[in-house]
């Protein structure tokens, strides 16, 4: 099995498996975030559950962090190896004739997503960890104790225009990444059969609708609460 | 047709190459691309210049010898043809045509447009075959029932001529379409299943050893393949490798 994970195909399959996990996570993240548009109370309840459930905090969260780091590190490692397999470039190369821009530039869309994720962690994850595990406040309540703090914190984050624009750009790159990545992950694990065309259609819908939904959430809070 | 050719010239494997410009005139749109290069060489030789070296053999799209990266595409702008089947009518009078060798570290340039594709031979030798008992009682292949569907899929995979367009077109110089086709053509047939696990493991190991890049599923190989080898073969190879690895 160790030989398998050292092989080019083994690494490709490992990339795909981490991608599946991340795509499920994104869907779950979206499902909770969209509650903030329709039902702030339910959003607060869901956020509190996710932030305090031991299974989520101490099993799923470390797996998620490992999955994110693995996906980025392996992505960069494979990219450097692939670049090194052709020392002399073509004088003329017509990539558009045979492949999509998204498929050829996963490293750039992924790189921008990484920048976005660092900012996203600084914005939300690190303050959350600080409140719960450094300051020891797991109540999830505002300072005056009148309500849960999650919805109010979310609203405050989307007041500055620069952050809203940055998040929207991050989601555009996420969409570009998924437009190739969704079906690519299935191909990597060997799933290419009579359902592939339907799967590609579903993948495109996922790649457009989920990031678009995140953009709608960001814009909703920007326009609804700060202006 | 009057054309401007920009051709990669490289004296030998160790020398530094460069693009050299050659104007060429009165080219018939009915001749093939290789015949156009023959015309160019027939003008260079009397002028005392070194003719342009390029690979060719059958000139009917079967042998996989011809290569060439033409205006940024393996085997040129036409689809499902090798360079020998590419006709000059695909170009316009006054065009500038860039002609380069297939590029990959695993395909080093030998001279001008000729590259060494023996890495493919070594991958084949690592497992792209079936061992036949030649003791005199070999079973007739036609006596083994094979479904039409499996036979057709195996035949589709076996049409790979090993030209290397997949490697040349891939941004990662990946050979997975070639190896996937060679693994598939045997994996789909009962005769190939006996050695299936060793085959896929050995061929993939050799592929990695040769320095080809990783497949990132851009699909460029499938589009540029002169024989239309499908990405399904790469998926099948991946499944075969997982199966073989789980068996231990």
Q: What is the domain partition of chain B in residue ranges?
A: 3-111, 117-131+145-247
Same fold: B3-111 with B117-131+145-247 = no
Distance (Å) from the alpha carbon of B117 to chain A's nearest alpha carbon? 14
**Residue A54 in this model has a pLDDT that exceeds 70:** yes
Kindly report the backbone phi and psi dihedral angles of residue B19, in degrees, each rounded to the nearest multiple of 5, phi listed first. -85, 130
Q: Does A143 touch chain B (CB under 8 A)?
A: no
Q: Does A180 touch chain B (CB under 8 A)?
A: yes
Q: Residue A202 — very low, low, confident or very high, per pLDDT cuts 50/70/90?
A: very high
HEC sequence for B2-40: CEEEEEEECCCCCCCCEEEEEEECCCCCCCEHHHHHHHH
Q: Does A104 touch chain B (CB under 8 A)?
A: yes
Contact between A85 and B212 using a beta-carbon 8 Å cutoff: yes
Question: pLDDT digit string (tens) for B75-123?
Answer: 999 999 999 999 999 999 999 999 999 999 999 999 999 999 999 999 9
Q: Residue A4 — very low, low, confident or very high, per pLDDT cuts 50/70/90?
A: confident
- Average pLDDT over chain A, rounded to an integer: 96
Domains of chain A (ranges, CATH numbers): 2-82+103-225 (1.20.1300)
- Mutate which of A10, A11, A71, A93 to disrupt the B interface (most B C-beta within 10 Å)? A93
**Residue B173 in this model has a pLDDT that exceeds 70:** yes
Which residue did the predictor score with more confidence, A25 or A226? A25
Report CA-CA distances (Å) from B30 to A98, A175, B66. 26, 46, 19
Q: Which residue's entry shows tokens 């595409």?
A: B73
pLDDT attached to residue A227: 53
Partner residue facing A192 (CB), from B73, B231, B245: B231
Partner residue facing A92 (CB), from B72, B236, B238: B72
CA distance A151 to A162: 20
Mean pLDDT of B4-26: 98
CA distance A45 to A22: 23
Mean pLDDT of B172-182: 98
Mean pLDDT of B148-167: 97
Contact between B172 and A85 using a beta-carbon 8 Å cutoff: yes
Q: Which residues of B touch A108 (CB under 8 A)?
A: none
Identify the three-state secondary structure at position A98.
coil
Distance (Å) from the alpha carbon of A100 to chain B's nearest alpha carbon? 7
pLDDT attached to residue B135: 82
**Residue A139 in this model has a pLDDT that exceeds 90:** yes
The second-level CATH assignment, the architecture, of B3-111 is Roll (3.10)
Q: Residue A15 — very low, low, confident or very high, per pLDDT cuts 50/70/90?
A: very high
Residue B114: which H helix or E strand, with range? strand B114-115
**Residue B18 in this model has a pLDDT that exceeds 90:** yes
Q: Residue A1 — very low, low, confident or very high, per pLDDT cuts 50/70/90?
A: low
Distance (Å) from the alpha carbon of B58 to chain A's nearest alpha carbon? 26
Q: Tokens in use for A73?
A: 């590190």
pLDDT attached to residue A225: 80
Q: Residue B247 — very low, low, confident or very high, per pLDDT cuts 50/70/90?
A: confident
Q: Which residues of B touch A188 (CB under 8 A)?
A: 217, 238
**Residue B216 in this model has a pLDDT that exceeds 70:** yes
CB atoms within 10 A of CB A205: 11
Q: What is the DSSP letter of A193?
A: S
- Mutate which of A5, A6, A9 to disrupt the B interface (most B C-beta within 10 Å)? A9
Q: Which residues of B touch A8 (CB under 8 A)?
A: 174, 176, 204, 207-208, 212-215
Q: What is the CATH number of domain B117-131+145-247?
A: 1.10.1060.10
pLDDT attached to residue A190: 97
Residue of B nearest to A9 (CA): B238
Q: Please compute Rg for chain A using Cα positions.
A: 20
Q: Does B6 touch chain A (CB under 8 A)?
A: yes
Question: pLDDT digit string (tens) for B158-172?
Answer: 999 999 999 999 999
pLDDT attached to residue A226: 59
Closest CA to B50 of B14, B4, B7: B7
CA distance A48 to A59: 17
Question: pLDDT digit string (tens) for B52-75?
Answer: 999 999 999 999 999 999 999 999
**Residue A138 in this model has a pLDDT that exceeds 70:** yes
- Average pLDDT over chain B, rounded to an integer: 96
Q: Does B77 touch chain A (CB under 8 A)?
A: yes
Q: Residue B134 — very low, low, confident or very high, per pLDDT cuts 50/70/90?
A: confident
Instruction: Give the length of chain A.
Output: 227
Question: Is the distance from CB of B164 to CB of B221 less than 8 angstroms?
Answer: no
Partner residue facing A92 (CB), from B71, B211, B220: B71
Q: Residue B222 — very low, low, confident or very high, per pLDDT cuts 50/70/90?
A: very high
**Residue A119 in this model has a pLDDT that exceeds 80:** yes
pLDDT attached to residue A2: 62
Mean pLDDT of B173-200: 97
- ipTM for the predicted complex comes to 0.95
Closest CA to B85 of B56, B119, B114, B105: B56
Question: pLDDT digit string (tens) for B92-101?
Answer: 999 999 999 9
Q: Does A7 touch chain B (CB under 8 A)?
A: yes
Mean pLDDT of A100-125: 97
Q: Does B159 touch chain A (CB under 8 A)?
A: no
Mean pLDDT of A148-154: 96
């Amino acid at each position: 099995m160790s030989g398998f994970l050292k092989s080019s195909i083994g690494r490709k399959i490992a990339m795909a498996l981490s991608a599946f996990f991340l795509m499920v996570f994104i869907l779950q993240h979206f499902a909770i975030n969209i509650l903030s548009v329709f039902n702030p109370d339910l959003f607060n309840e869901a956020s509190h559950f996710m932030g305090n459930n031991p299974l989520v905090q101490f099993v799923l969260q470390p797996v998620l962090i490992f999955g994110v780091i693995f996906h980025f590190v392996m992505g960069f490692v494979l990219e450097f190896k692939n670049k090194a397999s052709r020392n002399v470039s073509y004088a003329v190369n017509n990539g558009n004739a045979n492949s999509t821009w998204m498929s050829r530039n996963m490293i750039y869309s992924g790189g921008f997503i990484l920048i976005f994720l660092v900012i996203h962690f600084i914005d939300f994850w690190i303050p959350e960890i600080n409140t719960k595990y450094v300051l020891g406040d797991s109540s999830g309540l505002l300072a005056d104790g009148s309500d849960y703090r999650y919805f109010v914190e979310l609203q405050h984050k989307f007041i500055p225009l620069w952050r809203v624009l940055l998040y929207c750009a991050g989601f555009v790159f996420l969409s570009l990444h998924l437009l190739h990545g969704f079906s690519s992950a299935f191909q990597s694990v060997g799933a290419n059969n009579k359902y592939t065309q339907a799967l590609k259609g579903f993948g495109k819908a996922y790649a457009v609708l989920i990031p678009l939904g995140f953009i709608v959430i960001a814009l909703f809070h920007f326009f609804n609460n700060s202006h | 047709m009057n054309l401007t050719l920009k051709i990669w010239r490289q004296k030998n494997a160790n020398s530094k190459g460069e693009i050299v410009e050659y104007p060429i005139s009165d080219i018939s749109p009915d001749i093939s691309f290789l015949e156009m290069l023959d015309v160019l060489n027939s003008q260079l030789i009397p002028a005392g210049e070194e003719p342009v070296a390029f690979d060719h053999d059958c000139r009917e799209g079967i042998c996989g010898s011809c290569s060439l990266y033409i205006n940024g595409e393996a085997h040129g702008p036409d689809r499902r043809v090798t360079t020998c089947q590419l006709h000059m009518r695909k170009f316009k009078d006054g065009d500038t045509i860039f002609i380069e060798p297939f590029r990959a570290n695993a395909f080093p340039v030998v001279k001008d447009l000729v590259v060494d594709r023996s890495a493919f031979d070594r991958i084949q030798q690592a497992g792209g075959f079936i061992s036949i008992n030649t003791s005199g009682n070999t079973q007739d292949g036609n006596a083994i029932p094979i479904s039409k569907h499996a036979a057709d899929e195996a035949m589709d995979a076996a049409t790979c001529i090993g030209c290397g367009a997949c490697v040349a077109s891939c941004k990662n110089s990946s050979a997975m379409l070639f190896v996937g086709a060679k693994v598939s053509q045997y994996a789909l047939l009962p005769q190939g299943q006996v050695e299936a696990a060793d085959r896929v493991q050995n061929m993939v190991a050799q592929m990695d050893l040769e320095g080809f890049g990783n497949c990132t599923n851009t699909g460029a190989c499938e589009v540029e393949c002169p024989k239309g080898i499908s990405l399904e073969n790469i998926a099948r190879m991946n499944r075969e490798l997982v199966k073989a690895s789980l068996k231990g």
